[in-house]
Amino acid sequence: MERQPITTQTRKLLSRHQIALKKSLGQNFLTDAHVIGKIIRSAELDRETGVIEIGPGIGALTEQLAEYAGGVVAVELDDRLVPILREQFQGQSRVSIIHGDAMKVDFRRLIGEHLNGLTKYAVVANLPYYITSPILMRLLEERLPLTHIVVMIQKEVAERLRAKPGTKDYGSLTVAVQYFAEVSWVATVPRHVFVPRPNVDSAVVRLSVRPKPAVHVRDERLFFRVVRAAFNQRRKTLSNALSTLLLNGKNKETLNRWLEEVGIDPRRRGETLSLEEFARLADGLADHLG
Ligand code: SAM
């Protein structure tokens, strides 16, 4: 029998289970096998690789992950979808369906319990868009043993992840993600391949997690404080943006001297600084603030 197009399968399954999709949970399901193929190829899976999937929905991507990976642990928040997924993957020992919130689950424990014995780990997901930035930061900041993260996200956010200094898309999310990972663009995905169709286009990006951060900093917390301060008031000069946040607006001359000491013009805007310059700046400030 000829296989039905994935759009028809998705609609039928949802209507059979009388499931109305929830916008609040970012439920836009992928219905294009070609796009799923691109995600899978970019994930470079093999039987040694364990995959964490966030938001499996009704399993369109999960099915392919299970085909190529050594194990899949899929975390779904919607309790209406969990029984459908469990039924679909019943008897497939490589797939574990977890009912939970990806912002709260203990990923390290899930890896230990469900992907035990595998040697590499990756996150592969068509993310619910409302948690894109916090979930990416969580995965990176927790320093999980991941080699890469392949995600479908809003195109506009993807542009921010790969942005260069001095552009409108360059911001604290760019710096934070590029600090931990190398970003590459996999594909631009038009909105019409989702059910229901979202209001924006999407993109698949691959974050290859660096064995060591892109720049060495003496105090990581201070580095991120400086980055946030610089972008919080992105129209201001570095001197103004940093003095408000770091020094309560006082001692601007002192701060200007510190900036000059590390070779950074206080009249520049934070949005023009490269990762290396932010690192040099934070290390210079650490001498005085530490
Ligand atoms: N993977 C499916 C696909 O590609 O068709 C569905 C992707 S859909 C964009 C996002 C999925 O994430 C939905 O199934 C939604 O219920 C789920 N979800 C939303 N918030 C979540 C959370 N905090 N933790 C885990 N899953 C979540």
Q: Encode burial over 117-151: b for 16+ CB neighbours within 10 A, e otherwise.
A: ebebbbbbbbbbbebbbebbeebbeeebebebbbb
> Does the pLDDT at position 119 exceed 50?
yes
Tokens of 268: 């520049």
DSSP 118-176: -SEEEEEEE--GGGHHHHHHHHHHTT-S-SEEEEEEEHHHHHHHTPPTTSTT-SHHHHH
Among 76, 81, 107, 123, say which to mutate for ligand 1: greatest number of ligand atoms within 8 Å of CB. Answer: 76
- Cα(273) to centroid of ligand 1, in Å? 35
pLDDT, position 269: 95
| Residue 102 in contact with ligand 1 by CB distance below 6 A | yes
Tokens of 68: 């190529």
Q: What average pLDDT does this structure show over 39-56?
A: 98
Triad 149, 153, 155: Cα angle to 5°: 125
pTM: 0.94
Q: What average pLDDT does this structure show over 263-284?
A: 96
Q: What average pLDDT does this structure show over 84-103?
A: 96
| Residue 151 in contact with ligand 1 by CB distance below 6 A | no
> Does the pLDDT at position 134 exceed 60?
yes
- Secondary structure class of 75 (helix, strand, coil): strand
Among 54, 61, 63, 65, say which to mutate for ligand 1: greatest number of ligand atoms within 8 Å of CB. Answer: 54
In angstroms, how far is CA 162 from the centroid of its own chain? 12
pLDDT, position 11: 75
Tokens of 174: 């760019």
The rounded percent of the chain whose pLDDT value lies above 90 is 81
ipTM reported for the complex, 2 dp: 0.99
Q: Between residues 242 and 77, which one has the greater pLDDT?
A: 77
| Residue 59 in contact with ligand 1 by CB distance below 6 A | no
Model confidence pLDDT, tens digit, residues 206-234: 999 999 999 999 999 999 999 999 998 88
CA atoms within 13 A on the CB side of 107: 23
pLDDT, position 5: 65
Q: What average pLDDT does this structure show over 27-44?
A: 95
Q: What average pLDDT does this structure show over 138-151?
A: 97
Contacts of 151 (CB under 8 A, 6+ apart): 123, 124, 125, 126, 127, 132, 136, 204, 205, 207
Q: Identify the residue whose C-alpha is closest to ligand 1 atom 10.
A: 128
- The dihedral of CA 150, 156, 157, 159: what is its sign? positive
- Cα(76) to centroid of ligand 1, in Å? 6
Among 78, 98, 123, 152, say which to mutate for ligand 1: greatest number of ligand atoms within 8 Å of CB. Answer: 78
Q: For all residues of the chain together, what is the average pLDDT?
A: 93
| Residue 56 in contact with ligand 1 by CB distance below 6 A | yes
- As a whole number of angstroms, the distance between CA 90 and CA 74 comes to 14
| Residue 84 in contact with ligand 1 by CB distance below 6 A | no
Identity at 113, one-letter amino acid code: E
Model confidence pLDDT, tens digit, residues 146-201: 999 999 999 999 999 999 999 999 999 999 999 999 999 999 999 999 988 999 99
- As a whole number of angstroms, the distance between CA 247 and CA 204 comes to 40
Binding residue ranges: 28, 30, 55, 76, 101, 126
> Does the pLDDT at position 1 exceed 50?
no
- As a whole number of angstroms, the distance between CA 167 and CA 204 comes to 21
- As a whole number of angstroms, the distance between CA 135 and CA 141 comes to 10
Contact status, residue 20 vs residue 196, Cβ threshold 8 Å = no
pLDDT, position 173: 97
> Does the pLDDT at position 7 exceed 70?
no
> Does the pLDDT at position 130 exceed 70?
yes
